[in-house]
C-alpha cells in the first residue's frame, strides 16, 4: 500500500534541492565517520539502548568499538519502532550497502555492518561522496568562542559562534582563562568584557561566521545589566549571576556585527546525571516566549531564528513570528524532531507565518552521514503537509508547492544567514 | 486531485445554514467596507506584511489609501501561504470579481482590485448584498458601555456589552467620567459602582443586548471584593487594583440580568508596542482555567461561553466544559483561528463535550465582508472533522452529521444567547 | 464509506489478543453489573448528562434505579456525539441485544434496555461470559491499604496497592486508625510508619499484588524527609504536611519489594464540589515531570509506569521515557482517554520511546462490561496509527505491525508487572 502519488511527486522534487544545513555539530576536521562506532555512538542510539535496558559498561571510552556497536545493535529490537532507528536504516541503505529489500537490522548484522563501514569510510573521497549523495552544499558548525577557524573550507563549513559557555559558565575561571587566551584581554568589568567579546566577534566574522547561537534553559530571562552591576559581580561575587547581562551584550554585538542570533530555548541540563553522554538533558514545559519580550523589542535589527525544545511552545513561536518582524521559527529541535511533532509544528507555522520567515530544518548532526536521513524524514513530512494543506485543497499547484517547500529547505537559509 | 466527495457533500450542506455570528467588532453604522483599504487595513494583513518586512510608513492615517493597499498587496508574495491570505482570495472571488480560475493576487493587481472595490462597495444595497451572499441572519456587536445603541436594527446587529474598559481601566479618570456621563452616577464606593453598572445593564438589555463579554490576561484571577475594599481603593489608592472585584460584580449582574458572559482568556496587551495598530498583543502559554474555579462555582446560573487564545488550553476548556454545566467552549480565537488549531480543538471538543454546549464559531470581523471567508474556512474544517470522526467510522449518517454541524453553526447560538 | 481495509485488518488481528488490563477499579466481589443502573451510573454518564443540563435529583442513592436510568438516557440526545456515548452503544450491542443496525439509543429505549440488562446480568455465568466476550485474561484492581485480599481469584483479579489515602490523608485520625487496625502498629514516628508500611507491603505482595499506585495533584513534588521531620510533624503538628515524605517511603518499599509504582499525575480534586459523584475533579495544565527528577534519579531500580492527565504533558512523558530507563508511558488517562488525545499521544510515544516500554492501555473500569468498549476504542486507534506510521510508509509489514500492537496491548504488561 504505497504512499499516495502526489506526496511521492512532491518528495521526489524536493529531494533535488541542494541543502544548506544551518545548524550542526560537525567537526570540520573530522566531518565524516571513521567507523560504525561514530554512527551508533550518536547519543540518540546510546540513549535509546540505555533507556531500553542496555548497561553503560560498553559505553566507556576504553571499551572496544566493535563490542560497543554489537551491544547497541543487539538492543535495536527494543527500539526499532523509533524515528532514530529509521535514520539508521536509511544510513545502512545509502552508505553501508544494506539492500533496500532489507528493512530491519538485528544483532546478527552488527559485524557485517561494522566491517562494511570500516571499508566504506576509509575511502579517500568519502567526505565528498557524502556531500554528493546528500546533495549538501554548505553546513553550519557550532564553534566555541576559542575554536580555531582555520584548516577547513569555510565556504562549505560555515562557522557559527556558540555562546553557551560565555553566558552560563563565566563564573568558571577556566572560561575566563580561555577568553583571555584567545583575545588577550583580562576581563574584570563590563568594558573589558565588551572589548573581549568584540575581539571574538571580529575573529569569527572575519573567518566567515554567519550566525551566533545559544541554548537556553526554560527559566531564562534576558536582561540588560548596567556596568556597575557587572563590576560588582565580577569584583565581589566571583563572576556569578551574570548570564542575563552577558547574553544581552552578545545580542548587542549581533546587532553591531549583523549576525543572526539563533536561540534554542528550553533545555534543562543534567536532569538525569547518570544518563549516557549527552543523554542527560530534559526540560520543563512551563516556559514562555514572553520571557524574551524585552529582547525582541530592544533589538529590532537583530534576526532571531528561534528553536523551541517542545512542541507545546510552537504556538507561541508561531504567534511571536507572526507579530515580531525579527522573530523566525527555526527547524525542529531534539525532542520535537520526530515525525508527529514536525508534522504538527510545521503545519501550524506554514499556515500562519510569512513564508519568507520559515527556516525549515537543520540536521543538528555530529557526523555528515546523518544529514541525509534527517533531511529525508523532514522532506517526507514537508511533502505530506504541502499536499494536505495546499495542493489537495486547490490552493497551490504541485509546482508552486515545490517552490514553497524549496523556500523552507533552502531559499530562506540563504537569505536569512546571507550565505 | 479534489477533496473527497463526502467532505464536499457535508461542506455543501453546511454552507446552506443561515448564520448567527455571536462575536464581531462590526460598527452597525458602518458595517461594510467603503474601499479595499477597509479590507486590507484589517490587522491580520498589516501584521503579516509588517512581519514580513513592510515598513509602517504607509500605515499612517494620513497616507493615501490606494498607496497603502498597493504596499500591502506588494508584500503578499511573502505571506501568500497563510490562512489570512486565503480569506482575502475568497473575498476577491466573492465580492471583487476575481475569476475563480485565478487563485493568486500579486502586486500588479492592486489597482484593479482597488477600483473594483470602490465601485462594488458604493452600491446602495451593498450591505444587504453581503448579508445575502453570506447567508448571514444576525451578527453580534462589541459595544463599549457608553456606546449609543440606537440608529440600527438590533434584530440584525445584536448588542453585546464589552466590559474590558470598566474592569481594567477603572483607575483612569476618563473611564469614570464616561461612566458618570452615561449613567448619571458618580462612583465613589461599591454601592455607587453597583448602581452605575445596573444602569448600564438596564440600558443594554432594554436595547436587545444578548451577551456581556470581556478579554482577559493570562494571569487574571476573578475574586469577590468586599465593600470596604472597594471603598478603600477608591478613596485612598486612586481606584487601582479593582479589576478582579469589578469583574465579579459584572458576573453578578450577568446572573441578575440573565446574560451569558463571554470570557476571552489569555491575551497580553502591547507585548510589541511598536507593532502595527491592533498587532501588538501576544500571550503567555502558562495560564489555567483553574483560575476561574471560584467563578464557575459561584455562578451556576450564569452561562460562560469561553474562548481561549491558545490551543494549549483547549484540553482544559474541553474538560471544564465536560464537568461544569455553565462552561461552554466558544469558537476559535485569534492565534487559534487557523486551520491546524481549529481542526485539533474542534476534534477534541466534539468527541467529548455535550453537543448542545458547543458554540462552533464566530467571525470576530471588523467588516461584514470577512464573515463569509472566515465561516467558509470553519465549515470546510467542520466538514472534514464530521467525516473523519463520525461518518467514516459509521457512527453518523451524512444527514445526521449535517445536523450535528448545524447545531454547532447555528442552533446552539440561538439557544445559548436566546436569539 | 468504510474505513480502509488495512486498518480493518490490523484492528481485526489486534482484537484477538487476550487482554491483561493493568488498571481498573473493579470490585472483585462484585465485578459485573447487576442492572443498567450500574452501567449508566458510571461517572462519565452522570457527568455528561449533568453537564448537559440534567438535575441531580435522581442521582440520589434513594432514587429509583429505573427512573435514574430513564433520566440519563433521556439526556443522551444532548451528548450522543461523545466517545463515552459510543462506549455505551458498544455495550448495548455486545451485551444487551441491541441490533448492530441500530446505532442510536433514545429516551424510548430506556425501559427495554433496563429490562434486557436485568435479565442478562442475572445469568449465573455472566461474569465468565463477560471475560470471554472481552477476551480478558487478567485485570488489575485498585485496593485500599486495608482492603481484604481474599475471597477472589488473584490470578484473574490482580491486587494493586493504592496509596493516595496514606500519602494525602495521613493527617486524618481515621487513616491512622485504619492503618493500626490492619497492621497492629501505632504510628508516631518515621520508624513506626516504616514498620507499618512494610506490613502493608508484605500482606499485599503475599496476596499477589503486582503494583503500587497513586494519583497526584499537579503541584506535587516528591522529597525525602528525615526522621526528625516526621517526628516533629507527627508529635507537634497533627501529622500535617507529610505527603512528600510518605510518598518517598513508599517508593523505597516499591524498590525493596520490587513492585512497579504507577504514578497518575495531574488531578486537582473537588474543583467542582457540587458536581456529581466522582465528577468533581479537574486540573491545572501547569505541571511538569521535572518535579519528579529527584525521584526518578533516586530509584533507578523502581519501574515507574506514568500516566498524565493531560495530553499537554505527553511530550514530557515521551522525553522522560526516552531518557530514563525506569520511566514508562502508561495508557491514556481520564481527560486524555478520548480518540483525539489517544491518537496524538500514542503517535508521539510509538515513534520515539523504545517499544518494550510502552504500556498501551488500561480500562480504568468500575464494572467489567466497560473493558470491551474501551479497549475496542483503543484498538481502532492503535490500528490506525500502526497503518499510518509504519505500514503505509513501508517500515513494517502488516504482520510486524500486529506484533508491535500486541506488544503494547499485552506483552509489555506481562513483562513490566511480571504477570
- Chain A residues in contact with chain B using a Cβ-Cβ cutoff of 8 Å: 6, 286-290, 293, 296-297, 300, 312-313, 315-316, 318-325, 344, 347-348, 350-357, 389-396, 404
User: Which residues in chain A touch residue C323, judged by CB atoms under 8 angstroms apart?
Assistant: 47, 51, 271-272, 275, 279-282
Domain with B376 in it: what CATH number?
A: 3.20.20.140
For C399-416, how does the pLDDT look when each residue is reduced to its tens digit (9 = 90+)? Answer: 999 999 999 999 999 999
Contacts of A340 in chain C (CB under 8 A): 344, 347-348, 351
How many Å lie between the alpha carbon of B388 and the closest alpha carbon of chain C?
Answer: 10
Q: Give mean pLDDT, residues C148-172.
A: 97
Q: For cell 484589517, what's the residue?
A: B42
Q: Which residue of B has its CA nearest to A328?
A: B51
Cβ separation B339–A322 shorter than 8 A: no
At B33 the pLDDT is 98
User: How many residue pairs bridge chain B and chain C with CB atoms within 8 Å of each other?
Assistant: 110
Torsion of CA C17, C21, C26, C31, to 10 degrees: 20
pLDDT digits (tens, 9 = 90+) for B150-159: 999 999 999 9
Mean pLDDT score of chain B = 97
Quote the pLDDT of residue C34: 97
A325: closest chain B residue by CA: B51
CA distance A409 to B211: 48
Per-residue confidence (pLDDT) for residue A2, from 0 to 100: 44
Contact state of C323 with A283 under an 8 Å Cβ cutoff: no
Helix (H, G, I), strand (E, B) or coil at C360: coil
**What are the C-alpha distances in Å from B161 to residues A6, A147, C330?**
50, 63, 47
Q: Is residue A106 part of a domain?
A: yes
CA B259 to CA B204: how far, in whole Å?
Answer: 10
- Span C34-55, pLDDT tens digits: 999 999 999 999 999 999 999 9
**Shared domain check, C110 and C160:** no
Residue C159 has pLDDT above 70, yes or no: yes
Pairwise CB contact (< 8 Å): C80 & B325: no
Q: What is the pLDDT of residue B377?
A: 98
Taking CB atoms and an 8 Å cutoff, what residues of chain C touch B295?
Answer: none
- Residue A93 confidence (pLDDT) above 70: yes
In a domain, A367, yes or no: yes
> Mind listing the pLDDT tens digit for each residue in A9-33?
999 999 999 999 999 999 999 999 9
Cβ contact (<8 Å) for B335 and A318?
yes
Q: Is residue A28 part of a domain?
A: no
Same domain, C245 and C326: yes
The reply to whether B302 and B379 lie within a common domain is yes
Residue C341 CA: distances (Å) to CA of C44, C288, C354, C360: 17, 18, 20, 13
**B404 inside domain:** yes
Considering CB atoms only, which of C51, C273, C310 is closest to B322?
A: C51
Q: C280: which chain B residues are within 8 Å (Cβ-Cβ)?
A: 323
Q: Indicate the residue of A296, A318, A323 with minimum beta-carbon distance to B47.
A: A323
CB contact under 8 A, A274 and C297: yes
Place of cell 464573515: B371
Q: Which domain holds residue B344?
A: 128-417
Q: Exposed, middle or buried, B34 (CB in 10 Å: 0-12/13-18/19+)?
A: middle
Q: Do A351 and B283 touch (CB under 8 A)?
A: no
Whether C67 maps to a domain, the answer reads yes
Q: Nearest-CA distance from B108 to chain A in Å?
A: 19
Average per-residue pLDDT in chain C?
Answer: 97
pLDDT at C3: 54
Neighbouring chains of B at 3+ CB pairs under 8 Å are: A, C
Same domain, B188 and B68: no
| A93 plus A157 within the same structural domain | no
Closest by CA position to C321, among listed A282, A338, A284, A80: A282
**A52/C320 touch (CB, cutoff 8 Å), yes or no:** no
All three cell numbers of C357: 516500554
pLDDT at B46: 97
- Asked whether residue A362 is domain-assigned, the answer is yes
Which pLDDT does position C214 carry in this prediction?
Answer: 98
Which helix (H) or strand (E) segment holds residue B36: the answer is helix B36-40
CATH code for the domain in which residue B55 is found: 1.10.2020.10
How remote is the C-alpha of A205 from its chain's centroid? 20
pLDDT digits (tens, 9 = 90+) for B2-42: 458 999 999 999 999 999 999 999 999 999 999 999 999 99
Inter-chain contact A351–B3, Cβ cutoff 8 Å? no
Averaged pLDDT for residues C125-143: 98
Asked if the Cβ–Cβ distance from C313 to A285 is below 8 Å, we say yes
Q: Do B355 and C78 touch (CB under 8 A)?
A: yes
Same domain, C232 and C96: no
Please indicate, yes or no, whether residues A111 and A167 belong to a single structural domain of this protein.
Answer: no
Question: Are B285 and A315 a contacting pair at CB < 8 A?
Answer: yes
Examine the fold and report which residue of B104, B121, B138 is the final residue of a domain before the chain moves on: B121
- State the pLDDT confidence band at C207, using cuts at 50, 70 and 90: very high
The whole-number pLDDT of residue A53 equals 97
Q: What is the mean pLDDT of residues B102-107?
A: 92
How many structural domains are present in chain C?
Answer: 2
B103 and B158 co-located in one domain: no
Q: At what angle do helices A371-386 and A83-95 cross, to 10 degrees?
A: 120
Same domain, C383 and C255: yes
pLDDT grade, residue C2 (50/70/90)?
A: very low
Residue A197 pLDDT more than 80? yes
Residues C113, C167 within the same domain = no
pLDDT at A406 over 60: yes
Contact residues of B toward C, CB < 8 A: 6, 286-290, 293, 296-297, 300, 312-313, 315-316, 318-325, 344, 347-348, 350-357, 389-396, 404
CB atoms B311 and A312 under 8 Å: no
Q: Where are the alpha helices (DSSP H) in B107-239?
A: 110-121, 126-134, 164-168, 173-183, 190-206, 227-236
State the smallest CA–CA distance between residue C117 and chain A in angstroms: 43
Residue A414 — pLDDT band, cuts 50, 70, 90? very high
Average of per-residue pLDDT across C377-382: 98
CA–CA min distance A393, chain B (Å):
6
pLDDT in tens, A276-307: 999 999 999 999 999 999 999 999 999 999 99
Please tell me which residue of chain C has the smallest CA distance to A278: C323
Residue C77: exposure state from Cβ atoms within 10 A (0-12, 13-18, ≥19): middle
Q: Which of B51, B81, B83 has the CB atom closest to A324's CB atom?
A: B51
Return the percentage of chain C with pLDDT > 70, whole number.
Answer: 99
| Average pLDDT estimate for C287-303 | 98
Per-residue pLDDT at B3: 54
Specify the pLDDT at position B303.
98
> Under a CB-based contact definition with an 8 Å cutoff, are residues C22 and C371 in contact?
no
Residue C26, classified by CB atoms within 10 Å of its CB into exposed (0-12), middle (13-18) or buried (19+), is: buried
- Per-residue pLDDT at B143 exceeds 60: yes
| Whether C113 contacts C92, CB under 8 Å | yes
Mind listing the pLDDT tens digit for each residue in A245-283? 999 999 999 999 999 999 999 999 999 999 999 999 999
Question: Which pLDDT belongs to residue A98?
Answer: 95
A137 and A39 inside one domain: no
Give how far A198 is from chain B: nearest CA, Å. Answer: 29
Mean pLDDT of chain A: 97
Last residue of a domain, one of B121, B153, B185: B121
B253 is written with which cell numbers? 449582574
Residue C9: inside a domain: no
C163 lies in the same domain as C264: yes
pLDDT in tens, A144-165: 999 999 999 999 999 999 999 9
Res B251: pLDDT:
98
Backbone angles phi, psi at C325, to 5 degrees: -60, -25
Of the residues B73, B90, B121, the one at which a domain ends: B121
- Domain membership of residue A6 (yes or no) is no
pLDDT tens by residue, C54-68:
999 999 999 999 999
8 Å CB contact of B315 and C336: yes
Which residue blocks in B268-395 are alpha helix, DSSP H? 293-298, 314-323, 339-350, 371-386
Residue in A289, A300, A315 nearest the CB of B312: A315
pLDDT in tens, C5-31: 999 999 999 999 999 999 999 999 999
Chain B residues lying within 8 Å of A286, measured CB to CB: 286
Of the candidates C351, C333, C359, the residue with the CA atom closest to the CA atom of residue C388: C351
CA distance C118 to A377: 55
| A318-376: pLDDT as tens digits | 999 999 999 999 999 999 999 999 999 999 999 999 999 999 999 999 999 999 999 99
pLDDT of amino acid A3: 54
Residue A1: what pLDDT?
34
Amino acid at each position: 500500500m504505497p504512499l499516495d502519488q502526489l506526496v511521492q511527486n512532491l518528495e521526489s522534487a524536493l529531494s533535488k534541492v541542494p541543502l544548506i544545513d544551518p545548524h550542526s555539530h560537525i567537526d570540520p576536521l573530522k566531518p565524516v565517520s571513521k567507523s560504525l562506532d561514530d554512527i551508533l555512538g550518536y547519543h540518540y542510539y546510546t540513549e535509546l539502548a540505555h533507556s531500553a535496558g542496555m548497561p553503560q559498561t560498553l559505553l566507556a571510552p576504553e571499551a572496544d568499538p566493535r563490542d560497543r556497536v554489537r551491544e547497541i545493535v543487539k538492543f535495536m529490537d527494543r527500539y526499532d519502532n523509533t524515528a532514530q532507528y529509521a535514520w539508521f536504516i536509511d544510513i545502512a541503505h545509502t552508505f553501508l550497502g544494506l539492500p533496500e529489500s532489507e528493512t530491519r537490522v538485528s544483532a546478527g548484522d552488527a559485524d557485517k555492518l561494522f566491517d562494511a563501514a570500516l571499508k566504506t569510510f576509509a575511502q579517500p573521497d568519502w567526505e565528498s561522496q557524502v556531500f554528493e549523495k546528500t546533495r549538501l552544499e554548505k553546513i553550519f558548525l557550532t564553534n566555541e568562542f576559542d575554536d580555531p577557524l582555520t584548516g577547513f573550507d569555510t565556504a562549505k563549513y560555515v562557522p557559527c559562534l556558540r555562546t553557551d559557555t560565555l553566558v552560563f559558565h563565566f563564573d568558571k575561571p577556566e572560561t575566563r582563562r580561555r577568553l583571555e587566551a584567545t583575545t588577550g584581554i583580562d576581563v574584570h568589568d563590563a568594558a573589558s568584557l565588551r572589548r573581549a567579546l568584540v575581539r571574538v566577534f571580529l575573529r569569527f566574522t572575519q573567518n566567515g561566521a554567519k550566525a551566533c547561537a545559544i541554548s537556553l534553559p526554560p527559566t531564562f530571562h534576558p536582561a540588560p545589566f548596567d556596568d556597575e552591576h557587572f563590576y560588582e559581580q565580577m569584583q565581589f561575587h566571583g563572576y556569578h549571576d551574570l548570564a542575563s547581562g552577558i547574553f544581552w551584550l552578545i545580542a548587542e554585538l549581533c546587532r553591531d556585527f549583523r549576525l543572526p542570533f539563533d536561540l534554542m530555548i528550553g533545555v534543562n541540563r543534567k536532569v538525569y546525571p547518570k544518563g549516557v553522554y549527552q543523554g542527560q538533558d530534559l526540560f520543563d514545559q512551563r516556559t514562555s516566549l514572553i520571557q524574551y519580550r524585552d529582547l525582541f523589542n530592544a533589538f529590532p535589527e537583530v534576526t532571531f531564528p528561534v528553536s523551541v525544545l517542545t512542541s507545546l511552545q510552537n504556538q507561541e513561536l508561531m504567534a511571536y513570528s507572526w507579530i515580531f518582524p525579527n522573530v523566525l521559527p527555526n527547524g525542529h529541535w531534539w525532542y520535537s524532531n520526530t515525525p508527529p511533532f514536525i508534522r504538527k509544528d510545521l503545519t501550524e507555522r506554514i499556515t500562519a507565518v510569512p513564508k519568507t520567515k520559515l527556516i525549515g530544518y537543520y540536521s543538528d548532526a555530529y557526523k555528515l552521514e546523518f544529514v541525509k536521513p534527517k533531511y529525508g524524514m523532514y522532506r517526507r513530512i514537508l511533502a505530506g503537509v504541502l499536499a494536505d494543506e495546499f495542493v489537495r485543497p486547490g490552493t497551490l499547484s504541485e509546482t508552486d508547492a515545490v517552490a514553497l517547500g524549496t523556500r523552507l529547505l533552502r531559499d530562506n537559509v540563504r537569505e536569512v544567514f546571507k550565505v
